[in-house]
Structure formats: structure tokens, C-alpha cells
């Protein structure tokens, strides 16, 4: 599956547009990670626990979007974007979306 943030795939021609595909996940903070994160916040620097949690959420959202694209017969997704939203205190949604397309062999 080809994923691009651009509206087309360089060197390939879009032969069919299949529509919007998306994948999402909602993650909540963990008490243990929160305590460590607050301590790191006091000293400054990267909060690795949250970096890891967000990276895992992004990957899961991408995987779910790719599954949806494959289900409609796409071999590429263009104009891929991410969006986050707080759904409740301490929990956020990570969404990945784009346009499922079929591209030629190049």
C-alpha cells in the first residue's frame, strides 16, 4: 500500500478514486505513566511515555486506515492527514484519513 501526503503519487497515474478512508483509535493516559510524565515535566525534556503512546496510536490509526483502503480495493492512499481530538479528560482520539485510490504500475 502506497501512502502519500501529496494529492498524487509521483511517477504513477491515478486510474480510479475510491473515496475517503480512515482509521482511528482512542487512547487514555495511564496513571503510572502520568506520574513519571509529571516528574519529567518538572525537570524538562522529552516525555518519552507520551511520545511512545502517541507513536503507537498513530501506527494503529494508519493500520486501520490501510485495512479500510484494502477492503475497497485501493493500492494507494493519497492526501493522508492526521487529526487529534480530546474526547474526555485524559483520553484523546488519533485519526488518520485520506483518499483511497488505484494507481497504475508506474
CATH code where residue 56 lies: 3.30.110.70
Of 1-10, 37-46, 51-60, 84-93, which gets the smallest average pLDDT? 37-46
Q: Which domain holds residue 6?
A: 2-103
Task: Give me the number of domains the chain comprises.
Answer: 1
Burial of 86 (0-12, 13-18, 19+ CB in 10 A): exposed
Angle at 95 between CA 91 and CA 98, to 5 degrees: 175
- Residue-level pLDDT at 104: 95
pLDDT, tens digit (0-9, with 9 covering 90-100), for 17-52: 999 999 999 988 665 555 665 665 666 677 777 788
Task: Indicate the pLDDT class of residue 88, thresholds 50, 70 and 90.
Answer: confident
Give the list of residues 6+ apart from residue 87 with CB closer than 8 angstroms, or none: 26, 93
Q: pTM value? A: 0.84
| Statement: residue 89 has pLDDT above 90 | no
- Residue-level pLDDT at 65: 98
Amino acid at each position: 500500500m502506497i501512502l502519500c501526503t501529496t494529492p498524487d503519487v509521483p511517477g504513477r497515474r491515478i486510474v480510479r478514486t475510491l473515496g475517503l478512508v480512515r482509521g482511528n483509535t482512542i487512547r487514555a493516559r495511564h496513571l503510572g505513566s502520568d506520574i513519571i510524565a509529571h516528574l519529567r515535566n518538572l525537570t524538562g525534556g522529552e516525555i518519552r511515555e507520551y511520545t511512545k503512546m502517541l507513536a503507537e496510536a498513530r501506527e494503529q490509526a494508519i493500520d486501520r486506515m490501510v485495512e479500510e483502503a484494502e477492503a475497497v480495493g485501493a493500492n494507494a492512499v493519497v492526501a493522508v492527514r492526521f487529526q487529534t481530538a480530546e474526547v474526555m479528560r485524559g483520553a484523546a482520539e488519533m485519526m488518520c484519513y485520506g483518499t483511497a485510490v488505484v494507481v497504475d504500475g508506474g
